[in-house]
Amino acid sequence: MAEDGTPFIILGADAVLAALPASPVQLAHACHLLGFQLAAPATWGDELIAESCLDQLADYEHQAAVMCSCPLVTERLTRASMMLEPFMLTFVSPPVATARYIRAAFSGQALHITYAGACPGAADDSIDARITPAELLEAFAERAIVLGAQPNHFDALVPLDRRRFYSLPGGVPTRDHVERAAGRSFIEVTGDDVVLELTQQLIEQTPALLDIAVPLGCACAGAGEHAMRGNVRAGLLTLEPPRARTHVIDQSLHLDVTQSLVELCELHMGSVDSAEEPAALEVHLAADSAPAPEEPMIEIDVTGVDVIDVASMDVASIDAKPIEIEIELPPEIASTNHAVIPAPRKRPVVSRAPASIPRYANARGELVPRASLAVLRRALARIAKRKARRQPKVERGRRERAMEIHDGLVRTTPRTPRSLAIAGSADLPRPVPPPPARHRPRTMMEL
């Protein structure tokens, strides 16, 4: 445990899921036995981000906005180009927002904040150390702390308010707050290719707040290694207390949880570089490691090579023969079997769409450009699969039977001897019984 401040810990959503079947209250008690003075929930950061998002949506100039509080979302949207930058609402990650809130609430005190979770956006100056949920459980096992044996209520510890008012897991506002505060709808984009569906939503210019964090594996939203089945956000909400009716966060602490896109990109590049090295228990210990050895660079002397004027050459007279160039390598490199020459970095090539973009009519009857035919095909395939799943097998077999009978493909009643006898007897004339004696005319013998 660190000695440079009061030890606090922030429990991420994936840490709470990894501790199941133990409750979040039992996890907080176990962290107190481990030496932490306070076990703060990451829901505080979700509330700060959701409230800031609603403030920006109130006077947002674009019809559609994309929620970007996870570095995975920012990296995916900026992988090829920066065309979606005007539609992105960028914020810090929920653990960073929680850490800033804790430091503002305990201003003037020396704190050592540890984050337990796998969010890649937790690399911030406000967080002193990071551990994974597996490392936290290993620490409990080493100290012989049993999560299931901890009390399921707060007695000696100060109860922390883990309720939500504005937010959902991951920092996105709820549907009701988005509709009430900004007059927009909330759309959680799901599917095989979320970028194509997101592009379609942006082209249609529907007033909405779009979120793609869960399909991309956002740990703060409940996705990842310890995700629950079905709707991961709804499953995570079942572990939390009922929703609050008023503000949960102290409104007197004015915190800025927004972040520019440049800072987010730099944060993602730093997380990628740190992922190549072995994970450490605390972030500040990684600075003490020895620097990586630099790869030897090869210098080629081309002073003795003749310059060929390609413009003055006859193309038809050139023979298709390889050009051999002798290169003298240094002795330390020539002794090896191969030499490593760093290749130039490839840059993404952005191609422009043709002038004639295919269009289709939306629900309001307006002709809008279509992002890709694959979106329509996948939508039709999902609708067909959903209908086939809902239709019972008996009803489907009954309809197929009716169609076969209508087409004359089904034979009539099976031709058994009994059916033949019954059918034959039905065709023969039935004998007429004699009339009663009183109605029968008398003959000469009877007279």
What pLDDT digit, counting tens, does each position of 110-153 carry?
Answer: 999 999 999 999 989 999 999 999 999 999 999 999 999 998 88
- Residues 249 and 396 both lie in one domain: no
In a domain, 188, yes or no: yes
- Residues 274 and 161 both lie in one domain: yes
For residue 388, the model assigns a pLDDT of: 73
- Residue 28, pLDDT above cutoff 60: yes
Choosing from 263, 285, 307, the residue where a domain stops is 285
In a domain, 355, yes or no: no
User: DSSP string covering 384-430, please?
Assistant: HHHHHHHS-HHHHHHHHHHHHHHHT-S--S---HHHHHHHHHHHSPP
For residue 375, the model assigns a pLDDT of: 60
For residue 379, the model assigns a pLDDT of: 67
For residue 420, the model assigns a pLDDT of: 54
For residue 171, the model assigns a pLDDT of: 94
| Nearest Cα to Cα of residue 13 among 169, 158, 162 | 169
Mean pLDDT confidence for 312-321 = 47
- Residues 273 and 391 both lie in one domain: no
Rounded distance, CA 307 to CA 284, Å? Answer: 53
Rounded distance, CA 92 to CA 44, Å? Answer: 13
For residue 35, the model assigns a pLDDT of: 92
Count of domains observed in the chain:
2
In a domain, 299, yes or no: no
- Residue 285, pLDDT above cutoff 50: no
In a domain, 322, yes or no: no
In a domain, 438, yes or no: no
- Residues 269 and 384 both lie in one domain: no
169-212 pLDDT tens trace: 999 999 999 999 888 999 998 877 888 888 888 888 889 999 99
- Residues 166 and 22 both lie in one domain: yes
In a domain, 115, yes or no: yes
In a domain, 356, yes or no: no
- Residues 132 and 228 both lie in one domain: yes
Rounded distance, CA 185 to CA 208, Å? Answer: 4
Choosing from 256, 285, 314, the residue where a domain stops is 285
In a domain, 171, yes or no: yes
- Residues 257 and 383 both lie in one domain: no
Task: Tell me if 39 sits within 8 A of 114, measured CB to CB.
Answer: no
State which residues form the domain around 381. 372-405
61-79 pLDDT tens trace: 888 999 999 999 988 888 8
Terminal Cα distance for the chain, rounded: 135
- Residues 235 and 136 both lie in one domain: yes
324-360 pLDDT tens trace: 545 555 555 455 444 445 555 555 444 444 445 556 6
For residue 290, the model assigns a pLDDT of: 41
360, containing H or E segment: strand 359-361
Q: How confident is the model at residue 362 (pLDDT cuts 50, 70, 90)?
A: low
The answer, yes or no, to whether the previous bond of 21 is cis (omega within 30 of 0) is yes
For residue 352, the model assigns a pLDDT of: 46
- Residues 143 and 16 both lie in one domain: yes
Choosing from 285, 309, 333, the residue where a domain stops is 285
Average pLDDT over all residues of the chain: 76
